[in-house]
Chain A
C-alpha cells in the first residue's frame, strides 16, 4: 500500500500526531488512467495505426489494472501507464504478425496449387509449418548474411554483448558494429515482412 503521511498538531494535547491516509497504488493509477485517456489513445493510435485497435488496447489496459499485482510505490503513474500501454501494444502487434505468418504458412503447406486452382492437400507437417514461421525464416535469413555481419549479429544480438565488447572481440570500431547491426536487422526484417505479405 502506498500512504501519504500527514503530520499535524492535535489541538487538545498539543502533541505531534501522525495520521496515515491510505491511498492505494491502484486508485492512483486508475485516476491517472482516466486523466490520460487522450494522450494514451494518441500514442496507441500512432503505434498501432488503427484508432479502433488503439481503443481496444486502452480498454484492455483498464482490465489489466484491475487485476495486476502492482508494486508498492510508483514514482510516476503517468509514465508508468505509458509503459503499460506500450507493452500491451507490442503484444498486440507481435501477436498479429505471428498469426499472419502462421496462417500464411498453413495455407502454403496445406494447399497445393494445380494450375490456377488451389487444391486442399494433406495436413501440414509440423516441420514444414515451422520452417515458414519466424524461427525458420530468421534462421535462414541469418545464414545468408555476409560473414562479418553475421558475426556482429551473433555477438551483439544473440549473445547480448555490448557494442563495445563486440567491437573489441572483432577488432572493429563500435561505429562499424552499429552499421553492421543496422544492415543485419534490415535484412531480417525484410525477410519476415516479405514472408508475411506474400
Chain B
C-alpha cells in the first residue's frame, strides 16, 4: 500500500534525529547496551510527537537497512572505488555476543543481562547520550496555542513561549524555557509532573497552574490543586524546603533575590490571556507596557518618565497593537508618540 500523500522533504535535524534513534534502538554496536523499557517509551513518544518523525524514521531505517544489506555490492559499484579491503567487519555485521542461532530465527540481538539490569534499576529513562527525547513546542510573538501532551495533560502556550517535554517512567518533565504557559495536569501519583524553570522547579501530581518566565523572573499562580515550588540548586527536595502553593496563591521568584514574593491574586485575571485579554488592577503603566511587549513583535512600546508611574485598572483586548494603544489612551492620560524604533507613551500635557 502506498502512502496517500507525498513524503515531505526532511530537514537535516529530522534526519539526524532519526539516525540517532535508530542507532540507539538497534543497539548493534559492540559496546551498545540494549535499550531499557523507559527508552522504548521515550522512542514511542518521539514518534508520536509529530507524524513527520515516523516518516523520517521509516525512510532512514529503510535506507540504512538496504545499504547494510548491499554494502559490498555498493562499494564495488562506486565509481572511484579504490578496492581496499575493509579494515574490520562493520559493527552492524558483527555477530551478537550471545546465541547467534536465536538471533537468526528472530532477527534480533539478545539483551545483555548486566546491561539490561542496569538500565532497569535506574529506571529514569534515556541516558544523557541518547538522542533528544524532548519534544519542543514554540509559539511566535502574538501566537497562542493549545497543546495536548501524551498523558492528556493540556498546556496553553502564550505568545513567544518555548517548552521542551521529556516524559519518562519516573517523571513527566517539562522545561519552560521562556514565556508563559497554563498547565492543566492529569493526575498520576506514580509519575509526578515537574516543570523545570532553570533556578526553580514546580512539582505537582494533578493540578492547574500558570507560569510566566520572563526576563529573569518566574511567576507561578495556582488555580486548582496543590503545587510545590522548589529551588533547583542545593537541597531541593528536602522537607521544609520550597514553597507550597494553594489555589489563588502566586509566587514570584526573581534572579538574585534571596526569598520569593508570595501573595494572593485573582486567578481569573492572571489567566485571562487564554481568552486574548489582559486584566490589570492598579498596575503601573510600566508593567502594562512590559506585558504588552510580550505580544507584539512589530513595535517596541516604552513609557516616558512620569507616564511610567500612572496606575491603570482595566481590561485590554489583545487585538492589533494599534487598536490596543488607541484604547489605552482612552483610559489613561497619555499620548502615543511614534519613534524610529517603536512608540513611546508620554504623559498628556495638562491644558
Residues of A within 8 A of B (CB): 39, 42-43, 46-47, 49, 64, 68-71, 73-76, 78-80, 82-84, 86-88, 90-91, 93-94, 96-97, 100, 134-135, 138-139, 142-143, 147, 150, 154, 157-162, 165, 178-179, 181-183, 185-186, 188-190, 192-193, 196-197
Contact = CB atoms under 8 A, between A and B. Distances in A.
Interface stretch (B86-94, B197-205, B270-278): B86-94
A76 B38 CA distance: 12
Contacts of A78: 37
B110 interface: yes
Given A93-B58, A182-B15, A158 B67 contact: yes
B321 to A, nearest CB: 41
Given A82-B37, A192-B59, A196-B2, A49 B54 contact: yes
B147 interface: no
Nearest to B54: A49
B67 A83 contact: no
Interface string B9-32: 110100110010000010000000
A46 B44 contact: yes
Interface stretch (B113-121, B174-182, B223-231, B291-299): B113-121
A76 B117 contact: yes
Given A80-B111, A188-B67, A182 B16 contact: yes
Contacts of A193: 7, 59
9 contacts: A46-B54, A64-B106, A69-B102, A76-B119, A94-B65, A138-B66, A143-B78, A158-B67, A193-B59
Nearest to A183: B12
A68 B106 CA distance: 7
Interface string B322-349: 0000000000000000000000000000
> Nearest 4 A-B pairs (CB), nearest first?
A160-B90, A46-B47, A82-B40, A75-B116
A90 B47 contact: no
A192 B93 contact: no
Contact of B116 (A76, A94, A142, A158): A76
B60 A76 contact: no
B168 interface: no
Contacts of A181: 19
B64 A94 contact: no
A192 B37 CA distance: 32
B164 to A, nearest CB: 19
Given A76-B116, A94-B65, A189 B102 contact: no
Interface residues of B, number: 71
B281 interface: no
A94 B119 contact: no
Interface of B: 1-3, 6-7, 9-10, 12, 15-16, 19, 25, 34-37, 40-41, 43-44, 47-48, 51, 54, 57-67, 70-71, 73-75, 77-81, 86-93, 98-99, 101-102, 105-114, 116-117, 119-120
Contacts, number: 178
A139 B70 CA distance: 9
Contact of B107 (A47, A87, A160, A196): A87
Contacts of B112: 75
Contacts of A142: 74, 77-78
B97 to A, nearest CB: 11
A64 B107 CA distance: 11
Given A183-B12, A185-B63, 20 more contacts: A39-B40, A69-B99, A70-B102, A74-B111, A75-B113, A84-B108, A93-B61, A134-B70, A142-B74, A154-B75, A154-B78, A159-B75, A160-B91, A162-B91, A182-B15, A185-B19, A188-B63, A189-B59, A192-B62, A192-B63
A82 B64 contact: no
Q: By CB atoms of chain B within 10 A, which of A84, A135, A147, A178 has the most?
A: A135
A73 B2 contact: no
B120 A79 contact: yes
B64 to A, nearest CB: 7
B14 to A, nearest CB: 9
A18 B25 CA distance: 40
A71 B113 CA distance: 11
A76 B112 CA distance: 10
Contacts of A183: 12
A85 B2 CA distance: 22
A192 B99 contact: no
B119 A79 contact: yes
A71 B54 contact: no
Nearest to A76: B116
A78 B10 CA distance: 33
Contacts of B37: 76, 78-79, 82
A138 B37 CA distance: 34
